[in-house]
Each structure stands twice: as C-alpha cells, then as structure tokens.
C-alpha cells in the first residue's frame, strides 16, 4: 500500500478530508515512533507497507522525551497535525484500523506489543478480525 492509498483509507474511515487525514496519519506514525520499545523504530518501520514506513524511520524526537499516556499521545498528534483533540482521536483510530488492514495479523500484533501500555492514545488499536480464531 502506497501512502496516498493509506491516506485515502484513513480519510474514508475517519470522515476527514484527505489533506487532514494525511497530516494526522503522519503525526500518529511519528508519535508512535517515539513510543516504540524493545528495539529501534526502524525495526518496526520495516513491517509497514511501502512509503508508510518512512514516517517511522527516524522522526525528529519530540521535546521532553517519550510520550507519556494516552492524553499526551493525542495532544502530540493534534499538535503535529494542527487539529483539535476530537479530530486527533478519530484520526488515530482510523490510522490504527488502516494499519490493521495493511499488515498481517502477526505484524500488527508485534507492532502493538512494542508500544507501551496505552500507546495508541486511548484508541482500541485491534479491531476484530475475521481471521482471528
């Protein structure tokens, strides 16, 4: 999946215009990269499709170190994307749902387990999958 298709999927899921969906998607991926545990974000980026992984490969570190807690995650997403908290929350959920669709079940689970507890900004990142038995 190329980034434009990823953004289209996020836009459809969130109801956000494509430009805003792209900004939120970039912000979520960069904020996730700050939270990754158990290895460099580059390892995680290798699991993502095509251009999407570029947003996890070496983003600028946020001032103040790692992101602490769901509220701070959403605040940083909103700040980076230039959106309010509600838009950040809706967009974050759409990004995680799109990642779940774009990755294999094993890759997605590994990605989620590498985020600290609450790493998805208070969004449930694992929608039900028809393949989970």
Q: Please, which residues have CB within 8 angstroms of residue 98's CB and are 6 or more apart in sequence? A: 6, 9, 10, 13, 25
What is d(CA 36, CA 2) in angstroms, rounded to the nearest whole number? 23
What six digits make up the tokens of 51? 């251009």
pLDDT in tens, 67-88: 567 888 899 999 999 999 999 9
pTM of the model: 0.73
pLDDT in tens, 100-120: 888 888 888 887 777 766 544
What is d(CA 28, CA 16) in angstroms, rounded to the nearest whole number? 15
């Amino acid at each position: 999946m190329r980034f434009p298709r990823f953004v289209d999927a996020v836009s459809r899921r969130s109801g956000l215009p494509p430009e805003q969906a792209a900004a939120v998607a970039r912000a979520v991926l960069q904020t996730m990269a700050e939270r990754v545990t158990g290895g460099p974000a580059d390892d995680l980026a290798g699991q993502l499709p095509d251009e999407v992984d570029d947003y996890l490969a070496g983003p600028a570190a946020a001032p103040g170190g790692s992101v602490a807690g769901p509220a701070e995650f959403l605040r940083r997403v909103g700040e980076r994307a230039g959106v309010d908290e509600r838009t950040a929350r809706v967009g974050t959920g759409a990004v995680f749902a799109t990642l779940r669709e774009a990755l294999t079940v094993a890759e997605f689970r590994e990605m989620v387990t590498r985020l600290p507890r609450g790493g998805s900004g208070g969004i449930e990142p694992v929608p039900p999958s028809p393949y989970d038995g």
